[in-house]
Every structure is written in C-alpha cells, then in structure tokens.
Amino acid sequence: DGGITQSPKYLFRKEGQNVTLSCEQNLNHDAMYWYRQDPGQGLRLIYYSQIVNDFQKGDIAEGYSVSREKKESFPLTVTSAQKNPTAFYLCASSIRTGVPFGYTFGSGTRLTVV
C-alpha cells in the first residue's frame, strides 16, 4: 500500500547533539513537508520541498535543516541550534502544485531531549 513512513517512532536527543528524522513516501508525490506539533499550539510548518534538490523555509525553520536528494525521501535534521526540540514531528506529502488532491501524513516521530 502507498503511504508515508516516518522513523524512528521515538527518538531521544542529548543536549548539543544533532539528530535526523527519516521520512519516505511511495506515493510518487512531488511535494513534501515537515511540521512540528506542540501541545496547545497546533501544527507549524518547518520546511517544504516542491521538487528534488529544492526546498524552502516554513514558519519555524531556525535550528532545522533538510535535504531532498531523492523524490521519495525528505529527511529532517534537528541541530543543536534548536533550543527547544522536544515535540511531535509530522511529515506530509502532496501530489504536486495546482492539483487538489490534498495532503497525506505519516505517523510521526516523537523527539525528546534528555
């Protein structure tokens, strides 16, 4: 079945470490997105990519980095510059610009700083 796979489901980070969250899709979607979810704040857009080798900052990109070397993959790195990384991270995809088929989401990665 087609879908989005996020891994790991749970991730623990020590102070000063960089960690990378994986997002893979087999939907043949062009566009991919990373969102952060905090209690009481809803989902906020971190980065998005509309095509391979291109990506744009969302509303809260500081302390995060991404790459889009393959259409299927859009990994998110949480760097040591992100001061409050504990949150639930969701990856999403959409077919392409201008086509109203909506967005598909993965099952999320919960990141905790220890």
Partner 1 sequence: KQEVTQIPAALSVPEGENLVLNCSFTDSAIYNLQWFRQDPGKGLTSLLLIQSSQREQTSGRLNASLDKSSGRSTLYIAASQPGDSATYLCAADGTGGGADGLTFGKGTHLIIQP
Q: Please give the residue ranges that form the binding site for partner 1 (CB under 8 A).
A: 6, 30-31, 33, 35, 40-43, 45, 48, 50, 56, 58, 88, 90, 92, 94, 96-108, 110
The contacts of residue 69 (CB under 8 Å, 6+ apart) are 52, 53
Closest CA to 38 of 14, 60, 57: 60
The DSSP bridge partners found for residue 23 are 6
Q: Identify which of residues 18 and 28 has a Cβ nearer to partner 1 in the complex.
A: 28
Least spacing, CB of residue 75 vs partner 1, in Å: 17
Q: Identify which of residues 18 and 70 has a Cβ nearer to partner 1 in the complex.
A: 70
Q: How far is CA 42 from the centre of its chain?
A: 15
Least spacing, CB of residue 43 vs partner 1, in Å: 4
Provide the token pair at 8. 């790991």
